[in-house]
């Protein structure tokens, strides 16, 4: 008899959360939705409660929590509604939960993801900020509490699948020469540098291959998304920055590769659908059906690869600089980027101002070592304040 895994989905109304619920629905004999969480999307999470009947639904926003609780009272749903960051931590660390999908976008996802690791859960990591801002202390936490960590980003999941089965965190002893992190190049891969100044939020969010939320779509357009993934790969696979190479691959079919010293390159391929890495991690070590159509190599026909243009996409270079500097600099980079993207989406500044704001914040924030989560949050708060100051003077 199969053991049913009870899952908490942190960020169930986002694209990763919805894809996770789709995989769960395909395997009711394997998975049960224990808790779902959102920020403010009452309508969508109410619909999810009606379909999946979780024990808990958590809204980060208090007013939205009250609206959801009121709506649930008019139904026969037994879901208990909670609110606030402490409630997110509660459902991530609850003793009845064995698997946590960490899919909250932004710094808000760090504390509940830490709570899951501290209680030894199987953590399916889609929240970039946990590793970008607090990589060392999070990875130490995973080891200390014997949690299991599986990456959900399509690129990191592809690398995980392409590594030796018993990879011990040492590239050299595993015979690995490089990690090749693929990137689509986003909607402006072929655009001229001069044209980027007039880019609109709508254009930046129109990703050619992936269906993603606004923030991640803009990060893809600036290639900051790939820069954050370089930092993640460093922590996930204990890879030095100079061993992580970004490769532009516009078809988004090869999700990433691992190059070995004998000349072999092992890659993971598939259609650009996040249900593939989600199903891989949820079923691991088994393979389970995801709902993704089989890759038609004859339809794909050819695969292209290019070097990234660091002059056109300076955010990628800024991410490498933050990783090289270490300490609190990746946290400063991330915080400034979040404010920059939010301001761009609100049409308060130009697309080309995004890297300018980030560079400014990184220059004025003093580098410090990160020893605790409080250190991370302190830098996050300071960097956001400096970003707002820069914006006010724009």
Residues at the binding site are 13-16, 40-41, 127-129, 153-155, 184, 207, 213, 220, 225-226, 229
Q: What is the DSSP string of 331-354?
A: HHHHHHHHHHHHHHHTTSS-TTHH
Binding-site residues for Mn(2+) sit at 153, 155, 229
Q: How many CB atoms lie within 10 A of CB 366?
A: 10
SS3 sequence, 209-222? CCCCCHHHHHHHHH
Hunting for tokens 């004999």 — which residue is that?
Answer: 29
Look at the alpha carbons of 288, 293, 298, 301 in this order and tell me if their dihedral is positive or negative: negative
Q: Look at strands 254-260 and 176-183 and give their pairing.
A: antiparallel
Hunting for tokens 């999946």 — which residue is that?
Answer: 52
Q: CB of 30 within 8 A of CB of 2?
A: yes
Q: What is the DSSP string of 269-319?
A: E--S-THHHHHHHHHTTS----SPPPP-HHHH-----B---TTT-HHHHHH
CA gyration radius, the chain:
20
Biggest distance spanned by C-alpha atoms of the chain: 64
User: Tokens for 129?
Assistant: 């900020």
Say whether 177 sits in a helix, a strand or coil.
Answer: strand
Q: CB of 65 within 8 A of CB of 81?
A: yes
Alpha carbon dihedral 358, 338, 16, 205, in 10-degree steps, equals -80
Hunting for tokens 């969480």 — which residue is that?
Answer: 37
Residue from 102, 38, 21, 98 nearest 275 by CA: 21
CA distances, 203 to each of 258, 354, 360, 387 (Å): 32, 15, 25, 24
Binding-site residues for 1-deoxy-D-xylulose 5-phosphate sit at 128, 154-155, 184, 207, 220, 225-226, 229
Binding-site residues for NADPH sit at 13-16, 40-41, 127, 129, 213
Q: CB of 107 within 8 A of CB of 127?
A: no
């Amino acid at each position: 008899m199969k053991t049913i895994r009870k899952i908490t989905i942190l960020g169930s109304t986002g694209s990763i959360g919805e894809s996770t619920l789709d995989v769960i629905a395909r395997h009711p004999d394997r998975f049960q939705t224990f808790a779902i969480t959102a920020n403010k999307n009452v309508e969508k999470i109410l619909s999810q409660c009606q379909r999946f009947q979780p024990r808990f639904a958590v809204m980060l926003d208090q007013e939205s929590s009250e609206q959801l609780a009121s709506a649930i009272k008019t139904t026969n749903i037994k879901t208990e509604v909670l609110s606030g960051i402490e409630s997110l931590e509660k459902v991530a660390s609850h003793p009845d939960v064995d698997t946590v999908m960490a899919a909250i976008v932004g710094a808000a996802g760090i504390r509940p993801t830490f709570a899951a690791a501290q209680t030894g859960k199987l953590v399916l990591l889609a929240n970039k900020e946990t590793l970008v801002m607090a990589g060392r202390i999070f990875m130490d936490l995973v080891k200390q509490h014997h949690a299991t960590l599986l990456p959900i980003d399509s690129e990191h999941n592809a690398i995980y699948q392409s590594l030796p089965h018993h990879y011990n965190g040492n590239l050299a002893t595993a015979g690995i020469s490089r990690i090749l992190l693929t990137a689509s190049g986003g909607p402006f891969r072929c655009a001229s540098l001069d044209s980027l100044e007039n880019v609109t939020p709508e254009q930046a969010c129109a990703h050619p291959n992936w269906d993603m939320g606004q923030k991640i779509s803009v990060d893809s357009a600036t290639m900051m998304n790939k820069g954050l993934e370089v930092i993640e790969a460093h922590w996930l696979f204990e890879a030095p920055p100079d061993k992580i190479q970004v490769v532009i691959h516009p078809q988004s079919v090869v999700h990433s590769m691992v190059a070995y010293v004998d000349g072999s390159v092992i890659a993971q391929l598939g259609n650009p659908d996040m249900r593939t890495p989600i199903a891989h991690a949820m079923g691991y070590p088994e393979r389970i059906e995801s709902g993704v159509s089989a890759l038609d190599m004859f339809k794909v026909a050819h695969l292209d690869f290019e070097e990234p243009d660091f002059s056109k996409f300076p955010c990628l270079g800024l991410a490498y600089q933050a990783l090289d500097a270490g300490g609190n600099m990746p946290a400063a980079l991330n915080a400034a980027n979040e404010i920059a993207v939010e301001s761009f989406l609100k049409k308060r500044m130009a697309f080309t101002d995004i890297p300018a704001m980030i560079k400014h914040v990184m220059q004025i924030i003093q580098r410090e070592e990160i020893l605790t989560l409080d250190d991370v949050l302190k830098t996050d708060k300071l960097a956001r304040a400096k970003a707002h100051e820069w914006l006010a003077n724009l």
